[in-house]
Amino acid sequence: MQAISGNNSFDLCKMDSSENYHSPSETEDDVYLNTQYWHPKPKKYTDIFVLRELKKVKFCIPSLGLLLLLGALMALCAVGILYHNKVVSFEILHEQSENATVTLMMQENKAKDKDVSFEILREQYENATATLMMQENKAKEKEGMYEALEVKYQELNVSYNKKEGMYEALEVKYQELNVSYNRKEGMYEALEAKYLELNLSCSNKEGMYEALKEKYQKLNLSCSINQRGRCVEGWKTLGLKCYYFSTEKLNWIRSRDYCVEKGGHLVIITSQTEQNFASSQIRETHWIGLNDLETEGKWMWVNNQPLKETDVKFWFSTPEGPNEPDNWKKEDHSGEDCAALGHEIGDINKWFDASCRKQKRFICEK
Ligand SMILES: [Ca+2]
Ligand SMILES: [Ca+2]
């Protein structure tokens, strides 16, 4: 091997040796074959040869260094170019990365915007759903009300038809009544005419009655004179009647009962003569048989005859008032419902209404 490597270095420097140089087309075997036939040359010749080889080596070393330097430079250039390409690629990649990041951020922002839009849409959808449900509930309520109203309408319609029937029946009755009324109106007019005739006749009769009454009183007076002494003791006579003037004082009710017990009643004054007679016999107020106990203002005699019927009355009155009966309530809150001839401090010729609870003398008649 050493021989071969020695031969190699030898061969490399044999480029300018025309003597031992073998062409590049020669193989190792050829070289080996050549070396098999190699025989050391004489020493002199060898030194020269070494010197020559040394010269060649001196020449080869710088060449090799230069070649190595060139190779290194080329390698550096290649590395520089590669580095430059890498840097450029890196910048492009960096730029692309930045662009991608920007795009990604834009996409992200868009996605966020879309999320916000989605949330707004979802909220709007929920609101719309709630509104729709409310509307639906309201529609259901309205539907219920409508059905109830429809039922009421049907009922009213039935009621209206019934009422219409009743109205028609009433209208028929009204027509009948109208006819009856017209007939009755004719009868009423005929009766009114008859009433006027009777009223006229009655007025005539009344005149006759007054004349007869006057004649009767005259005859009564005459009779009373003739029958003097007819009444029992303690009673005074006027015409055919007897009168008792009490000395004791009672309230109106007890006075009335007292007279009944004596077989008479409280005096009923129906003429001026009777009034004059009664007032002429007394010096103070006396109960008479007149009262409005049952109905205020409706004066009745004790025989249940209304005062209006006799139409003979002698109530106290003055032009400036107050007039009797006045139903005065200052002494008795129930008012004044019994009549007396004369007043405690007033005219004994006139009638006054007084509280029935008062104690007074009284006049009986029988
Ligand atoms: Ca009264
Ligand atoms: Ca009075």
CA–centroid distance, 237 to ligand 1, in Å, is: 31
Q: For residue 239, what is the DSSP state? A: T
Q: How close is the Cα of 245 to the center of ligand 1, in Å?
A: 24
pLDDT value at 168 more than 90: yes
Long-range contacts of 302-308 (CB under 8 A, 24+ apart): 302/256, 302/265, 302/266, 302/268, 303/265, 303/268, 305/268
Task: Compute the average pLDDT of residues 164-173.
Answer: 92
**Cα 323 to averaged position of ligand 1 atoms, centre (Å):** 13
How many angstroms separate the alpha carbon of residue 236 from the centre of ligand 2? 28
Return the pLDDT at 6.
38
Give the pLDDT band (50/70/90) at residue 8. very low
Ligand 1 centroid to 355 CA: how many Å? 8
Q: Say whether pLDDT at 27 is over 50.
A: no
Q: 264 C-alpha vs ligand 2 centroid, how far in Å?
A: 26
The token pair at 199 is 């009223």
25-29, 53-57, 221-225: lowest mean pLDDT where?
A: 25-29
Sequence-ordered alpha helix ranges (H) in 18-42? 28-36
Centroid of ligand 1 to alpha carbon of 294 (angstroms): 9
Q: What Rg do the C-alpha atoms of the chain give, in angstroms? A: 83
From 236, 297, 294, select the one nearest 264 (Cα to Cα): 236
Q: How far is the CA of 221 from the centre of ligand 1 (A)?
A: 34
CA 316 to chain centroid, in Å, comes to 66
How do residues 43-63 score in pLDDT, each as one tens digit?
555 677 777 777 777 777 778
Dig out the tokens for 333 from the structure.
Answer: 């809150």
CB-CB contact of 342 with 348 (8 Å): yes
Ligand 2 centroid vs 344 CA: distance in angstroms?
11
Rounded to an integer, what distance in angstroms lies between the CA atom of residue 62 and that of residue 307? Answer: 183
Amino acid sitting at position 208: M
Which of 35-39, 172-176, 275-279, 327-331 has the highest average model confidence (pLDDT)? 275-279
- pTM here is 0.41
- CA pseudo-torsion sign 27, 32, 36, 37: positive
Give 349 Cα–ligand 2 centroid separation in angstroms.
14
Distance of alpha carbon 30 from the chain centroid: 131
pLDDT of residue 126: 94
Q: How far apart are CA 68 and CA 47, in angstroms?
A: 31
Q: How far is the CA of 351 from the centre of ligand 1 (A)?
A: 13
**Cis peptide bond N-terminal to 24, omega within 30:** no
Query: Does residue 7 contact residue 35 with C-beta atoms inside 8 Å?
Result: yes
**pLDDT value of position 209:** 87
